[in-house]
Amino acid sequence: PRSVSPAADPAVISPQDPTLLIGSSLVATCTVSPDFPLKAEDLYWTLNGRRLPAASYAALGPSTLSVALARLNGSRQQSGDNLVCHSRDGGILAGSCLYVGLPPEKPVNITCWSKNMKDLTCKWAPGTEGETFLHTNYTLKYKRRWYGQDNTCQEYHTAGTYSCHIPKDLALFTPYEIWVEASNRLGVAVSDVVMLDILDVVTTDPPSDVHVSRVGDLEDQLSVRWSSPPALKDFLFQAKYQIQYRVEDSSEWKVVDDVGNQTSCRLAGLRPGTVYFVQVRCNPFSIYGSKKAGIWSDWSNPTAASTPRSERVAGGCDPKVGEQNTTLRRELKQFFGWVKKHAYGCSNLGIKLYDQWRVWLQKSHKTRNQVGKEP
Amino acid sequence: SPTGDSWGIFTFLCAALCNLPALPALNCSEELGAGQSIQQTYDLTRYLEHQLRTLAGTYLNYLGPPFNEPDFNPPRLVRAEPRVPSATVDLDLWRGLTDNARLAANYRAYSRLLCYLRVLDGQVGTAELRHRLAHFCASLQGLVLSIGGVMSSLGYPLPAGPAAPPAGPPGAPAAPNDFLKKMDDFWLLKELQTWLWRSAKDFNRLKKKVPPAVVTLRLEARGF
């Protein structure tokens, strides 16, 4: 049954909603309102639902009971610890929220990047401990060096919890000062100032239209083609690219670094009859002739292709080093060889088709790290 | 459950869409429209009830014990102006409500509750909680629109008052300290829960008076 109390508060707690440093002590008092027929001995305390020992109580007056709390731990929840004064039958007379924690530490590791020179996203890390037990507010501020006005970033959490996005009104060719302020009930901490020019931290979208294809019948080569990211086409910059590729069942990527600014490349020295995954990324360096490196884009989505394999007679075993040599595959190859010999017109059936099916299977299952898994 | 949520979202969208005047594909006449809308409003209250369980769980954990204890039942301090209209009402009174009065009570209650929830959204600590609250408020807004749609299709005027939240917090005095505010938040969630239970009964009663003539749409929603 819900009880409805009269308009006056039954009791008053002091201090009401205090903020305290971890490890500090507190004496709180509960004073019953004169309208209520309760005495100090009719009262008890709970903290976060747990009854506090009577040994820590003291009656300070006929209707005032105090409790002593020593060496407080950090608040159990950010909304504050619930210290409650009860009447003997368990009813709640009053409550006070205790905010116990630490002042914030200086935020660190501020890194920023600009997508296509249009905006700026920065992320940072909280100071060393991180856990202050109190709700901590982070504000990213920036200003053009030598121009007075501070600006505040508004769009938070765009790239993780500790990040902010500045969408517009950014000037190029001018240094910016950027810093992060952390504040909570116990104080404020300001990070070191980072200075940068937007042009130094430009990144772009990954290259588009990545195509990987065979080079005729060459067993150990694949040709990779892609397009330069369209967003930067109006800006004077030189892109440089990087390619990485790996064999289907491996998680070890090989990187091709000296691609320069062409939009095609031939991979050589590959294993015949093997499925490869290929990715490309772009670095818009030397924007407006600055000679500075930009920030690498994300890798493009993986594109798959397989190197050709010359036809073998049925029953031939496979001496190639590192060839995937599971029982199933061996039997399949033998079967396909036999089919070719004995069933004219089935020339499309072969281990090539099996390879393509494997590629499709990998793409749809994304079982990149499961080496040697049987489909 | 994910499938339950898909169904719920689909129903919610249908409810919102059905309140658009020009929807030729559905070919609604006045009464046919009301029948569908009542069913969809009913479905929405059930979906919100389900959503509220998760939201309340998260929020009460944020408030901390004893607020998240199952048997928590604090005194309800009476204020000068009742904070939210109470869902509990005398049974005979409830039975005797006209359709208009029944719908108007629901409309007013949820408009008010939505205002208070939006204020909560601005104050609350964690990002997860803000996200859940925002989602819930969007669904609740859909419910208010849905009820308004039912009233319009039955020819009843919408109750005056804040369907949209006023600039600042509504008329009720803010809690004088943080602990009392936690108690207010607790009771807000409880009242929301009680209203959703009551609305299900309200719309069930209304359903019997205005049966849904177009059954196929409802079946399609279930098969989704």
- Inform me whether the pLDDT recorded for B158 exceeds 80: yes
Contacts of A135 in chain B (CB under 8 A): 125
Contact of B189 with B21, CB cutoff 8 Å: no
Instruction: Report the distance separating Cα B212 and Cα B38, nearest Å.
Output: 8
Residue A351 and residue A354: Cα distance in Å, rounded? 5
Contact B116, B83 (CB under 8 A): yes
Which tens digit of pLDDT belongs to each residue from A319-354? 443 445 566 777 777 777 776 776 655 555 666 676
Span A112-139, average pLDDT: 87
Domain ranges of chain B: 34-76+84-164+177-208
Report the distance separating Cα A316 and Cα A330, nearest Å: 10
Interface contact flag, A3 B76, Cβ < 8 Å: yes
Compare all CA atoms of chain A with the CA of B61 and give the residue at the minimum distance: A77
Contact B76 A2 (CB under 8 A): yes
Place A86 in a pLDDT band, splitting at 50, 70 and 90: very high
d(Cα B80, Cα B174) in Å, to the nearest integer?
12
Note if the pTM is more than 0.80: no
- The fold adopted by the segment(s) B34-76+84-164+177-208 is Growth Hormone; Chain: A; (1.20.1250)
User: Rg of the Cα trace of chain B?
Assistant: 18
Name the H helices within B91-177: 91-95, 99-123, 127-153
Residues of A in contact with B69 (CB under 8 A): 49
β-partners of residue B188 are none
Task: List the beta bridge partners of residue B193.
Answer: none
Greatest mean pLDDT among A181-185, A291-295, B30-34, B118-122 lies in: A181-185
β-strand pairing of A92-101 with A81-87: antiparallel
CA atoms lying within 13 Å on the CB side of residue A119: 14
* Interchain proximity B125–A80, CB inside 8 Å: no
How far is B61 from chain A, CA to nearest CA, in Å? 8
A46, A49, A79: residue with CB nearest B62: A79
| Average pLDDT value for residue range A115-141 | 87
Q: Which of A16, A45, A77, A93 should one mutate to test binding to chain B, selecting the residue with the greatest count of B CBs within 10 A?
A: A77
Q: Which residues of A237-274 are buried (b: 16+ CB within 10 A; e: fewer)?
A: bebbbbbbbbbbbeeeeeebeebeeebebebeebbebb
Beta carbons of A78 and A133 less than 8 angstroms apart: yes
- Domains detected in chain A: 11-101 (2.60.40.10), 108-200 (2.60.40.10), 204-307 (2.60.40.10)
Q: Are A250 and A226 in contact (CB under 8 A)?
A: no
Residues of A in contact with B172 (CB under 8 A): none
Q: What length is written for chain B?
A: 224
CA distance A299 to chain B (A): 30
Q: Which helix (H) or strand (E) holds A276?
A: strand A275-285
Q: What is the C-alpha radius of gyration for chain A, rounded to an integer number of angstroms?
A: 34
Mutate to test the interface with A, among B62, B178, B194 (most CBs of A within 10 A): B178
Q: Is A13 helix (H, G, I), strand (E, B) or coil?
A: strand
The yes-or-no verdict on residue B167 having pLDDT over 80 is no
Q: What confidence score (pLDDT) does residue A172 get?
A: 83
Nearest residue in B to A51, CA atom: B66
